[in-house]
C-alpha cells in the first residue's frame, strides 16, 4: 500500500479529538454563474472557519487528531493536505518565513529545495516552496508546500505527486489556494462576546 493511500486510510479512521475541540468538515453546493454548480467545503474549528473548493472527483476527509484535511486523487498517487499548526508555547520571535523554512527542513531533511516564492489565498499572503526527493524505489517525488499565517498559528498546504504528474496537479493546488478563505469561527465570536464584562 502506498504512503498516499495510507494517509487517506488514517484520515478516514481517525477518532474524534478531545470533547472541547471542534474539527468538522461540511459540504455545501453553490451555483456560480461562470462555473455552474460547485461544492464548497467549510472546515469549522473552535477558532477558525475555513472554506475552499476541493478538486472535483477527489476523496476529501478530515482528521481531527492531526488537525488535517486529506484530499486524494482518483488514481491514489497524488495527495493534497491542509493542516492547522499551532504556534509553540511562548511563541517564536523569529520572522515567520524563517520559522516556516525551518519547519520544512526538519520535516523533509533529505529533500532538495527547488524554489521558493510568494503565494496567495483569497484573503491572505504566504510563502511556498517546491521540494524534490527520491523515494525508496528510486523514483522522483515532488512536493509543493505553502504556508499561510493564522492568529496563533499557521496553515500548511501540501501537494505531493510523482514527478511526471506534478506539473498537471499544480493547477489543482493553485485552485485550492485561490479559493481558500480563513475567517474567525462563530464559536470564537460567541465565546469572546460571552466573556465580556457586563455593564
In the prediction, which pLDDT does 81 show? 97
**Is the Cβ–Cβ distance between 169 and 78 less than 8 Å?**
yes
Give, rounded to a whole angstrom, the gap between the first and last alpha carbons of the chain. 61
**Is the Cβ–Cβ distance between 79 and 69 less than 8 Å?**
no
Say how many CA atoms lie within 13 Å of 118 toward its Cβ: 3
In the prediction, which pLDDT does 20 show? 58
SS3 96: helix
DSSP string, 102-168: HHHHHH-TT-EEEEEEEEE-SS-EEEEEEEEEE-TTS-EEEEEEEEEEETTEEEEEEEEEEHHHHHH
Q: What is the CATH number of domain 3-190?
A: 3.40.1000.10
Q: Report domain extents, the chain.
A: 3-190
59-63 and 79-86 as β-strands: parallel, antiparallel, unpaired?
unpaired
SS3 39: strand
In the prediction, which pLDDT does 51 show? 96
Cα separation, 68 vs 72, in Å, equals 13
In the prediction, which pLDDT does 137 show? 84
> Could you report the per-residue pLDDT of 39-74, keeping only the tens digit for each?
999 999 999 999 999 999 999 999 999 999 999 999
Residues in the chain predicted with pLDDT less than 70, given as ranges, are: 1-20, 187-199
In the prediction, which pLDDT does 94 show? 87
Could you tell me the three cell numbers for 50? 475555513
Amino acid at each position: 500500500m502506498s504512503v498516499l493511500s495510507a494517509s487517506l486510510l488514517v484520515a478516514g479512521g481517525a477518532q474524534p479529538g478531545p470533547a472541547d475541540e471542534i474539527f468538522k468538515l461540511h459540504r455545501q453546493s453553490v451555483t456560480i454563474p461562470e462555473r455552474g454548480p460547485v461544492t464548497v467545503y467549510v472546515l469549522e474549528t473552535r477558532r477558525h472557519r475555513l472554506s475552499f473548493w476541493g478538486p472535483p472527483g477527489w476523496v476529501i476527509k478530515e482528521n481531527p487528531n492531526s488537525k488535517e484535511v486529506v484530499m486524494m486523487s482518483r488514481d491514489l498517487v497524488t495527495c493534497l493536505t491542509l493542516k492547522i499548526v499551532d504556534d509553540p508555547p511562548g511563541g517564536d520571535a523569529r520572522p515567520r518565513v524563517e520559522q516556516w523554512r525551518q519547519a520544512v527542513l526538519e520535516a523533509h531533511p533529505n529533500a532538495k529545495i527547488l524554489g521558493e516564492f510568494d503565494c496567495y489565498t483569497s484573503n491572505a499572503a504566504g510563502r511556498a516552496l517546491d521540494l524534490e526527493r527520491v523515494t525508496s524505489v528510486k523514483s522522483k517525488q515532488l512536493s509543493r508546500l505553502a504556508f499561510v499565517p493564522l492568529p496563533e498559528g499557521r496553515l500548511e498546504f501540501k501537494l505531493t505527486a510523482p514527478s511526471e504528474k506534478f506539473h498537471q496537479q499544480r493547477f489543482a493546488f493553485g485552485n485550492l489556494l485561490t479559493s481558500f478563505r480563513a475567517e474567525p469561527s462563530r464559536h470564537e465570536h460567541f465565546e469572546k462576546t460571552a466573556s465580556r464584562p457586563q455593564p
